[in-house]
Amino acid sequence: MFGVATPNVPSHARCANKQGLEAFSSPMRCKGTGNRRIAIRRTFLCLLLLAALPAVMPLPVMAQTELTVLGGATGADVFCLQAGNPTTGTFVGTFLQTGPGAWEERSKAGTFKFEEKNRDDLMVELSDADRSTSFQFNFVARMVKDKSSKSKTATWTDRNVILNATDKATSDDCVAYATRSKDDDKSAGDPGPGTVVQYITIAPRTRLDIKPGTNLTATSGPPCPGNPGFFLCPNKFNCAPAGGVCCPGAGTCNAGTFCDLFVAKNCIVPGNPRFCPGTGNVKTGISLHCPPGKSCGNGNMCN
C-alpha cells in the first residue's frame, strides 16, 4: 500500500515560532495553544488591574460612612449642635451641653432639658423625661431623630438636619448664639433702632467646593451656592450679602449694620443710642454697643 509521506520534523521544533511562522507539522494544535497562552496572559493582566483598583479608587461604602459634619465634631466630642429644618435647612434651634450628662434644647418653642444616656463616635442619645421622648444625634445620617420613650416598638423618626456640630474648644459662637436666644425675652429696655437678622441658608447636604487654605471670616468667604451676590459664612450653612456681616453662631446683617451682641435676631445700626459712634469696623463686622436700656457716652462708656 502506498502511504502519504510526512516531513521529518523534530518534536522540539513543533509549535516553534521564532520567525513569526507557525510550524507546519501541526498547525491547528499550535495555533490553539498560542491563543490559549494569549488568553491566559490577558486574564492575568485583568486580575492585576482589578487588584490595583482599591488603591486608586475609594469604595462607595467608604464614602457613605464619612462621619465629618460641618464644625468637625463627632458623637464622641460634640458639645454644641445647631439644627435645621430637614427640607430647607433653615436654622431652628440649638442643642447645648450644660454639664456632665446634661443638655438643653433652645428654640422658639422654649428651653427643654435632657439627660444623656449614651454616646459614641456615631451618635448621642438623650432622654427628655418631661415630654417622654428620646432624641438621637445621628452622625451617619447627619440627622437629629426622636421617638416616644413610652413604647418599646417606637422607631426613630427624622426631626432636624444637623447643620453644625462643634466640640467644647470650638463652640464659642454656637454657645453665644444659644445664650442670646435663651435670654432674648428677658432683655431689659428698648433695643432701639435696628434691623432684623437675615437667615439665608443653603440647602441641606449641598456640596461645598472650598479650596484648601480658604479663610472664612465674618465679612468674607467663598461664593454662596445658589445665592449670587452672597458669601458663605464661617458656620458654612448661612450666607451673608456682599458688604454685610456674618453674626456669631447664626444669621447675617446687611451692609452698614452690625450684629447685636445683646439681642438675638437683631442688627444694630449707627445712630442707635446704644451704638458707640465711630466704632463700627466694616472689615471685621464688629462694633461697640451697650445692652438695652443703656446708652453709649463719652469714652465709649455705657450709661
pLDDT given for residue 69 in this prediction: 64
What pTM was computed for the model?
A: 0.63
pLDDT given for residue 27 in this prediction: 42
In this structure, are residues 82 and 94 in contact, taking their beta carbons and an 8 Å threshold? Answer: yes
pLDDT given for residue 126 in this prediction: 97
pLDDT given for residue 168 in this prediction: 94
pLDDT given for residue 264 in this prediction: 77
> What is the spatial distance between Cα 276 and Cα 290, in angstroms, rounded to a whole number?
8
pLDDT given for residue 43 in this prediction: 56
161 vs 65, higher pLDDT: 161
**Interior CA angle at 270 toward 266 and 273, to 5°?**
85
pLDDT given for residue 188 in this prediction: 55
pLDDT given for residue 55 in this prediction: 43
pLDDT given for residue 279 in this prediction: 92
pLDDT given for residue 35 in this prediction: 57
pLDDT given for residue 114 in this prediction: 95
**Residue 65 pLDDT > 50, yes or no?**
no
**Residue 228 pLDDT > 50, yes or no?**
yes
According to the per-residue pLDDT averaged within each range, which of 9-13, 61-65, 248-252, 281-285 is highest?
248-252
pLDDT in tens, 19-50: 433 333 344 444 455 555 555 556 555 554 44
Measured between its terminal Cα atoms, the distance across the chain in Å is 135
For residue 96, the surrounding DSSP H or E stretch is strand 91-99
- 3-class state of residue 163 by DSSP: strand
pLDDT given for residue 25 in this prediction: 38
> What is the spatial distance between Cα 91 and Cα 94, in angstroms, rounded to a whole number?
9
As a whole number, mean pLDDT of residues 46-58 equals 46
In this structure, are residues 226 and 203 in contact, taking their beta carbons and an 8 Å threshold? Answer: yes
- Supply the DSSP symbol for 153: T
Q: Give the rounded percent of residues in the chain with a pLDDT score beyond 90.
A: 44
As a whole number, mean pLDDT of residues 258-270 equals 88
- Averaged confidence pLDDT in the chain: 79
**Residue 299 pLDDT > 50, yes or no?**
yes
In this structure, are residues 232 and 239 in contact, taking their beta carbons and an 8 Å threshold? Answer: yes
Burial class (CB in 10 A: 0-12, 13-18, 19+), 151: exposed
Name which of 218, 296, 203 is nearest 253 in CA terms. 218
b/e map 238-261, b = 16+ CB within 10 Å: bbbbeebbbbbbbbbbbeebbbbb
As a whole number, mean pLDDT of residues 246-268 equals 89
**Residue 1 pLDDT > 80, yes or no?**
no
